[in-house]
């Protein structure tokens, strides 16, 4: 039996308590400073307020002030914060973790730099830790997995990525169940880039759902031609961006495209894309969603900004990314949805 400490009691971090506990481990779920009410509810009911089934018996719950107690003796730490908590996690939590305890993060995203490069969150955290002379094994989870389906035990395949295969194998042994299947990869940049890039593209695909609802009515049947066309364009653009990251391998593409598929069919990114497609601007869409965190908007903006800078440097051609550029114009410049369909067409002479 291992001790698994999960820091961040949002939906995905909390969902991972299910395979961890059902695999016979001691599980400690820690709320951030924003999760106090969630932990209170979990302690009182044994169930996350947004889940339809209770946690497995024996999960322990901690408020953020008790985080050091929750870390003590752990065999692995799971970081369950959203991308909005990246700075906080790097500054407040990682320095508290002893160097022998590996960290596995569920946080998906990329940070752009002034010269148009894209950095993974483990890279950013590593640089912060190096400045204070602290060493940790930083690993991440990528792949198609929604929290509520993981809780429901739907068959799920993800990838754990990190620099040390032996550590990844140990974490897989701790976490794998008959419904939670885990591939392993030492290509952190590739896996992390693939699962972050899909955010803006899932939003782009969801635009077509809103456009069809606008034209045919909210209760009209789904139209799949337009969704499939944008899905194909998204695949092309993601491939080129993975190549830019030096990570265009079959394994990374499979993880990224699978994550793209599941994100189109559920979650907040789908909702905001539909609202924008119906004709709302980004401010109206945010208001409609009433404070729901929209990580996909942040990632899309950062990647588009990196593309523009790289294009100015002659490293990329912005014309190769018409879908993401249009998504960026919609969310950052409040342009109306006007999908550039003809820009997606190609001529190939084999």
User: What is the chain's pLDDT, residue by residue, as a tens digit (350 residues)?
Assistant: 999 999 999 999 999 999 999 999 999 999 999 999 999 999 999 999 999 999 999 999 999 999 999 999 999 999 999 888 999 999 999 999 999 999 999 999 999 999 999 999 999 999 999 999 999 999 999 999 999 999 999 999 999 999 999 999 999 999 999 999 999 999 999 999 999 999 999 999 999 999 999 999 999 998 999 999 999 999 999 999 999 999 999 999 999 999 999 999 877 899 999 999 999 999 999 899 886 667 889 999 999 999 999 999 999 999 999 999 999 999 999 999 999 999 999 999 98
- Give the homologous superfamily in CATH for domain 3-188: NAD(P)-binding Rossmann-like Domain (3.40.50.720)
Q: How far is CA 221 from CA 257, 280, 343, in A?
A: 25, 21, 27
Question: What is the domain partition of the chain in residue ranges?
Answer: 3-188, 195-341
pLDDT of residue 289: 85
pLDDT of residue 293: 67
pLDDT of residue 291: 64
Alpha helices (H) in 178-222, listed in sequence order: 188-216
Please tell us whether the domain made up of 195-341 is placed in CATH 3.40.50.2300.
no
Question: Based on the number of CB atoms within 10 Å of its own CB, is 1 exposed (0-12), middle (13-18) or buried (19 or more)?
Answer: exposed
From CA 324, how far away is CA 159, in angstroms rounded?
A: 25
pLDDT of residue 268: 86
Angle at 293 between CA 296 and CA 216, to 5 degrees: 65
Phi, psi (5° rounding) for residue 139?
Answer: -130, 170
């Amino acid at each position: 039996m291992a001790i698994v400490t999960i820091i961040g009691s949002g939906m995905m971090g909390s969902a991972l308590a299910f395979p961890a506990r059902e695999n016979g481990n001691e599980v400690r779920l820690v709320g951030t400073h924003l999760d106090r009410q969630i932990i209170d509810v979990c302690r009182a009911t044994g169930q996350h307020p947004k889940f339809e089934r209770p946690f497995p018996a024996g999960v322990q719950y901690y408020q953020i002030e008790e985080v050091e107690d929750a870390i003590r003796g752990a065999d692995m730490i799971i970081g369950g914060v959203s991308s909005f908590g990246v700075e906080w996690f790097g500054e407040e939590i990682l320095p508290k973790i002893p160097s022998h305890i590996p960290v596995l993060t569920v946080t998906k995203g990329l940070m752009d730099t002034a010269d148009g490069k894209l950095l993974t969150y483990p890279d950013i955290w590593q640089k912060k830790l190096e400045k204070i002379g602290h060493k940790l094994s930083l690993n991440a989870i990528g792949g198609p997995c929604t929290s509520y389906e993981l809780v429901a035990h739907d068959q799920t395949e993800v990838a754990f990525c990190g620099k040390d295969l032996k550590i990844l194998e140990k974490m897989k042994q701790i976490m794998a169940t008959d419904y939670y299947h885990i591939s392993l990869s030492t290509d952190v940049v590739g896996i992390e880039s693939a699962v972050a890039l899909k955010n803006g593209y899932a939003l782009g695909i969801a635009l077509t759902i809103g456009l069809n609802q606008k034209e045919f009515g909210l209760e009209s049947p789904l139209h799949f031609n337009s969704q499939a066309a944008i899905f194909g364009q998204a695949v092309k653009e993601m491939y080129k961006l993975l190549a830019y990251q030096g990570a265009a391998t079959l394994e990374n593409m499979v993880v990224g495209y699978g994550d793209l598929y599941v994100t189109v069919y559920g979650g907040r990114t789908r909702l905001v894309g539909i609202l924008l497609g119906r004709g709302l601007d980004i401010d109206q869409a945010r208001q409609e969603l009433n404070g729901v965190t929209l990580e996909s908007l942040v990632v899309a903006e950062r990647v588009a900004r990196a593309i523009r800078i790289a294009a100015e440097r002659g490293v990329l051609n912005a014309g190769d990314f018409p879908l993401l550029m249009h998504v960026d114009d919609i969310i950052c410049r409040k342009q109306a949805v006007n999908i550039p369909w003809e820009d997606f067409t190609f001529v190939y002479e084999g």
